[in-house]
């Protein structure tokens, strides 16, 4: 059975004098097909069409559509020379990739290029490098255009800041919102007012704002954003990235220009606000410079779903003066007055207990069924190779569809009549669609790169969960050496969400579930091109109810220990005796907790019978190991 092929010919006016007439091309290609014993299933011709872009070649586009629909089940596309197929390197490469995705090879008869041969593939690799340079040039030109707009004081795009509205690409003041901006600045500059009190004052006096189409109260983050934005005093601040290297990724150049927008507040007022903001930040840093909330935002409110934040309880010691040691706990941020009290959940969670419970689960995570199943699916095996190949083919088809849409829109843009009414509006509308197509193309190309990397890893049997397993298996030792900031960052790398029970359960359990996400890197260069971006994210949810209660959760209060001893042993024990036994068996406590001020003062010792009962309670609440044995006091 003969293999089928398409013949494609193209000629421009200039080319007709060079011996590349349509008739000459067609005759040469027919002879080649006959020589190779190929059946010609269709002939496509673009007469007098430039090869600058495939958008202006209807016959070429028709041929690509027929290939995508697998209309004739062809095996080859024959062209006279590669220049007849196209002169734009990016267009040529993408079109050839589409052919290959459908099992179709390109043969350029006069250039001796055959994509089914090693030499032909080498030529295509060179074209790929050229196309990459072309794409980078497009990106640079786009950023240069955006930068030029900023330098001229124009709005570079995006949602209009609160207090302004976008009218035809220019920002104009929205009177009602602008009045609130002025009020926020004025109130904040009053001597006794701070950020939280400004927000509380706005909400108490009935002020509202529109967010995502609905009315809502003000909060600290919104007010802070208004106070810190120099846009309101007529300036535009733009941060330009200086390089794209891994080691220097955070280096950015700050550019400040005078904007074309109308200022809402005087520059002198903005400067006074910044001075007060800096003074307040310094006072906060001096309070507890080393303390950073580890799970803030990750733990979710059981009622409204918002991230819990840390609050501090500082109680006055009326007996000895000063304050007791502060207690930190997690609470719903939307229960606070400074957030407009949008949630009625007032329950709090002890931070030390909750942090400790999560850390204990992290240490044993690699041994859970959920972790092992998730990484087994990510690593893949021989059975997943076909699925990945199918996904790669599907992504390339989508990419071809977006390329076709981009060329079609480009043609519409080129044929707009500049003399017609509404030209600018029509031009902007089409350009917006083209920009969206470019965004989708970029996303698809990134996804194709990731699938290629994973497919290569599956074929080579590369397993990439080993490094993460090693980190988690030694997490307890790493954790002890980390700073608060490092602990917080590590949790945010691995944890997506923590769900808790509205109230502590009968067994002391707080944790309900933890949603994890782990970055996976396959060997070699990252598919995204950025060595810091993972090739894939492995996500799974761990049901904490299937695990034993963690030690921090099971840890009992003095009242609970007393109640347990009374119920099981029929003995009444004091806090002093409990503290002595806890200290004796290595439970961490405050250095002077339950110790007399005078070291010479006589302190009653816990009787042996009560010590046995307290030790049994500590085992029950998992505060000491089950194997702990009674220790005789030294004489």
Handedness of CA 434, 435, 438, 443 (dihedral sign): negative
What is the C-alpha separation between 62 and 85, in angstroms, rounded? 14
* Average pLDDT rounded to a whole number, residues 96-103: 83
As given in the structure block, the two tokens for residue 444 are 């698809």
What is the tens place of the pLDDT at every residue in 146-200? 666 667 767 766 778 898 988 877 888 999 999 999 999 999 999 888 888 898 8
**What is the SS3 string spanning 365-380?**
HHHCHHHHHHHHHHHC
Contact 161, 265 (CB under 8 A): no
The answer as to CATH 3.90.1750.20 being correct for domain 152-287 is: yes
**pLDDT given at position 458:** 66
What is the tens place of the pLDDT at every residue in 462-487? 444 455 666 666 666 666 777 777 77
Closest CA to 462 of 542, 536, 366, 364: 536
Percent of the chain with pLDDT strictly greater than 90: 16
Pairing of strands 536-543, 164-167: unpaired
Residues of the chain with CATH 3.40.50.1390: 3-137
Among the ranges given (37-41, 407-411, 565-569, 614-618), the one the predictor scored with the smallest mean pLDDT? 407-411
Residues of the chain with CATH 3.90.1750.20: 152-287
Handedness of CA 335, 194, 288, 252 (dihedral sign): positive
Query: Is the pTM of the predicted complex or chain greater than 0.85?
Result: no
Superfamily of domain 3-137 in CATH is Resolvase, N-terminal catalytic domain (3.40.50.1390)
What is the C-alpha separation between 9 and 79, in angstroms, rounded? 6
Among the ranges given (10-14, 361-365, 381-385, 564-568), the one the predictor scored with the smallest mean pLDDT? 381-385
Among the ranges given (12-16, 195-199, 454-458), the one the predictor scored with the smallest mean pLDDT? 12-16
Percent of the chain with pLDDT strictly greater than 70: 73
């Amino acid at each position: 059975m003969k293999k089928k092929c398409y013949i494609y010919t193209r000629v421009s006016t200039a080319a007709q004098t060079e011996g590349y007439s349509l008739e000459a091309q067609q005759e040469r290609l027919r002879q080649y097909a006959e020589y190779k014993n190929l059946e010609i299933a269709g002939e496509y011709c673009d007469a007098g069409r430039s090869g600058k872009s495939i958008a202006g070649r209807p016959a070429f586009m028709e041929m690509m559509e027929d290939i995508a629909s697998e209309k004739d089940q062809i095996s080859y596309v024959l062209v006279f020379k590669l220049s007849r197929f196209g002169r734009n390197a990016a267009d040529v490469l993408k079109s050839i990739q589409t052919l290959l995705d459908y099992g179709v090879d390109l043969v350029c008869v006069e250039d001796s290029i055959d994509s089914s041969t090693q030499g032909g593939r080498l030529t295509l690799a060179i074209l790929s490098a050229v196309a990459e340079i072309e794409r980078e040039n497009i990106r640079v030109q786009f950023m240069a255009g955006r930068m030029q707009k900023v330098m001229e004081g124009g709005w570079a795009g995006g949602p209009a800041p609160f207090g302004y509205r976008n009218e035809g690409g220019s920002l104009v003041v929205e009177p009602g919102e602008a009045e609130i901006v002025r009020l926020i600045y004025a109130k904040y500059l009053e001597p006794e007012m701070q950020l939280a009190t400004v927000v509380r004052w706005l909400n108490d006096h009935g002020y509202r704002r529109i967010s995502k189409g609905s009315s809502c109260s003000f909060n600290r983050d919104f007010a802070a954003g208004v106070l810190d934005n120099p846009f309101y005093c007529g300036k535009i601040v733009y941060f330009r990235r200086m390089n794209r290297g891994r080691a220097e990724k955070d280096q950015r150049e700050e550019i400040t220009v005078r904007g074309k927008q109308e200022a809402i507040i005087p520059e002198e007022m903005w400067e006074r606000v910044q001075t007060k903001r800096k003074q307040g930040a310094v006072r906060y840093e001096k309070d507890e410079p080393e303390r950073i909330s580890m799970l803030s935002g990750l733990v979710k409110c059981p009622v409204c779903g918002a991230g819990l934040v840390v609050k501090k309880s500082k109680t006055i010691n009326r007996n000895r003066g000063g304050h007791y040691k502060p207690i930190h706990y997690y609470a719903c941020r939307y229960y606070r007055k400074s957030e407009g009290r949008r949630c009625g959940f007032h329950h709090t969670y002890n931070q030390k207990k909750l942090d400790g419970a999560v850390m204990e689960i992290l240490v044993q995570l690699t041994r859970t069924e959920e972790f092992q199943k998730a990484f087994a699916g990510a690593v893949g095996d021989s059975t997943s190779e076909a699925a990945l190949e199918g996904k790669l083919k599907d992504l390339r088809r989508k990419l071809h569809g977006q390329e076709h849409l981009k060329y079609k829109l480009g043609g519409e843009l080129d044929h707009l009549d500049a003399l017609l009414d509404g030209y600018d509006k029509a031009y902007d509308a089409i350009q917006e669609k083209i920009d969206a197509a470019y965004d989708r193309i970029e996303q698809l190309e990134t996804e194709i790169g990731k699938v290629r990397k994973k497919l290569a890893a599956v074929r080579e049997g590369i397993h990439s969960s080993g490094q993460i397993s090693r980190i988690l298996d030694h997490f307890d030792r790493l954790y002890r050496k980390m700073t608060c900031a490092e602990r917080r960052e590590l949790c945010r790398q691995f944890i997506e969400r923590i769900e808790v029970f509205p109230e502590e359960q009968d067994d002391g359990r707080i944790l309900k579930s933890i949603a994890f996400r782990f970055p996976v890197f396959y060997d070699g260069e990252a598919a995204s091109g950025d060595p810091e971006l993972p090739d894939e994210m492995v996500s799974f949810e761990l049901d904490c109810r299937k695990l034993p209660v963690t030690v921090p959760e099971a840890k009992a209060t003095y009242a609970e220990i007393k109640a347990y001893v009374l119920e099981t042993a029929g003995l009444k024990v004091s806090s002093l005796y409990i503290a002595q036994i806890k200290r004796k068996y290595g439970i961490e406590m405050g250095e002077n907790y339950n110790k007399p001020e005078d070291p010479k003062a006589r302190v009653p010792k816990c009787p042996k019978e009560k010590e046995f009962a307290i030790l049994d309670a500590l085992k029950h609440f998992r505060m000491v190991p089950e194997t702990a044995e009674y220790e005789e006091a030294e004489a």
